[in-house]
Amino acid sequence: MFGALIPPVDLVPPQQLGPVHFIAVGGAGMSGIAALYAQLGSRVSGSDQADSPVLAELAAAGVRVHVGHAAEQLQDAETVVVSSAIREDNPELVAARARGLCIWHRSAALGALMLGRKGVAVTGTHGKTTTSGMLAHLLVECDTDPGYVIGAPLAGGAPSFRLGTGPFVVEADESDGSFLQYPADTAVITNIEADHLDNWRTPEAYLDGFRTFAARATHVVANSDDPGVRAVRRAGVDHAWITFGEEPGARVPVTDLQQSGFRVSARLGEVPLELAVPGRFNIANAAAAVLAAHSLGVDLHDAAAAMRTFRGTHRRFMGVGSHDGIDVVDDYAHHPTEVAATLGAARSGVRERGGRVIACFQPHLYSRTKDFADEFGAALAAADEVVLMDIYGAREDPVPGVTSELVGDACARHGGSVRLIHDRAKVPSVLADLARPGDVVLTLGAGDVTRIAPEVVAALAARGGR
């Protein structure tokens, strides 16, 4: 079944792993796990390709950190933790294999933290970072002393990880199949839409992965409005499913959904749900978080009330700055459905003030661009103006003929106003020149496009000073 996927392994508590070395320890998926292992008293070391503030924070937490990769940095490690992005020729991984060390994927290292605790694994094609962030937030607010490792820090400065002593929440990555590793009592599925076919090969195999994920849990909290969820549920044991949604048949109905600017509200059953973050999709995310908390014994009203103080997670419709009535927002959207949802939330927010939506999109991965070029173009065409950057390849090598022009041509075919800017240095000024009071400028993508947003704010300020 797995092919390029990550097969589950038998887990043991972190304290039984001996000294642990994390390759690429500065990454968002690794740093929190390493920090929690250090808090538990494990001897932890790690390396990363480049220095960063994260490495300094880990060093302060007691992790022995190295810049660059070299075999000798393993020292006395007995266990080595890697991510799916680590290449087989990494010198530390090569040395670990030669020494016969225990080599775990990061999901196993994370799963080991859940042993002996009530676990919640949050997955889905879209929305898992926000939903797991919501759940972590409300469990803290409801005094359950949770532990968690999620995909981004919470707005307001809370980190993306916490040890705690109560239930443990993980953001479960479906892209490489590693979501099947987690010993979760409650499984949360936000939605299911074919993605990551470079690993899963076919949409049906992708669905099968979710079927296996759901079958392992005692409770499955899921959005029954989603066609993919419905397809998976048909193969499940019905009593285990706690469904919510606007369509008839949901166990917990979502009704009276209203949007006003960048705020949204609804009723979850008989419980009012009010959010300070925008988008209809966030009502679904919040409903999943509230019902997952309830499966752990939290009162529904208390959980819903805690959602009022949730301010978002890093890079999920994150306000970066404003100038002259122009808002600049950064978002991690890197799939056509996510792009469409984020643009819709922006449109709702600026409608009352008569503003426009200006989108700057950086495609992520050559394989995803090839698979979804037309869908990306259709989604982006909903913006009033689109600035398109070159593809961010991340772990992939370039593919002949696969460029951002594929997305740009599709956007134009769907009626969008699009311009392709190959020179990254020119992008902030192009966006600033396009924007006018009342507009929102959105930077979108999973790559380094996030660095563009503050530069747009600076360019707007410079323009105002001229």
Residues marked active site are found at 128-129, 171
Measured CA to CA, the distance from residue 179 to residue 200 in angstroms comes to: 13
Q: Which residues of 78-107 are buried (b: 16+ CB within 10 A; e: fewer)?
A: bbbbbbbebeeebbbbebbeeeebbbbbbb
Task: Say whether 118 counts as a known binding-site residue.
Answer: no
In contact, 195 and 336? CB cutoff 8 Å: no
Return the closest-CA partner of residue 368 out of 350, 345, 391. 391
Measured CA to CA, the distance from residue 214 to residue 222 in angstroms comes to: 10
Task: Say whether 127 counts as a known binding-site residue.
Answer: yes
DSSP 3-state helix, strand, coil percentages of the chain (rounded to 5)? 40, 20, 40
Return the closest-CA partner of residue 177 out of 149, 199, 195. 199
Q: Angle, nearest 10°, between helix axes 280-295 and 128-141? A: 50
Beta strands (DSSP E) in 146-283 are 147-149, 161-162, 168-171, 186-189, 219-223, 241-245, 252-260, 263-268, 271-275
Task: Say whether 219 counts as a known binding-site residue.
Answer: no
In contact, 106 and 81? CB cutoff 8 Å: yes
Pairing of strands 168-171, 440-444: unpaired
Which residues make Cβ contacts (< 8 Å) with residue 66, sequence separation at least 6? 45, 46, 47, 48, 73
Task: Say whether 130 counts as a known binding-site residue.
Answer: yes
Check residue 64 and report its DSSP letter.
Answer: E
Which residues make Cβ contacts (< 8 Å) with residue 427, sequence separation at least 6? 360, 387, 389, 421, 452, 455
Task: Say whether 126 counts as a known binding-site residue.
Answer: yes
SS3 (DSSP) at 19:
coil
Q: If residue 79 lies in a helix (H) or strand (E), which one and from where to where? A: strand 79-82
Task: Say whether 279 counts as a known binding-site residue.
Answer: no
Give the number of other Cβ atoms within 10 Å of residue 305's Cβ: 18
Task: Say whether 202 counts as a known binding-site residue.
Answer: no
Which residue numbers belong to the known binding site?
Answer: 124-130
Which amino acids are annotated as binding site for ATP, given as ranges? 124-130
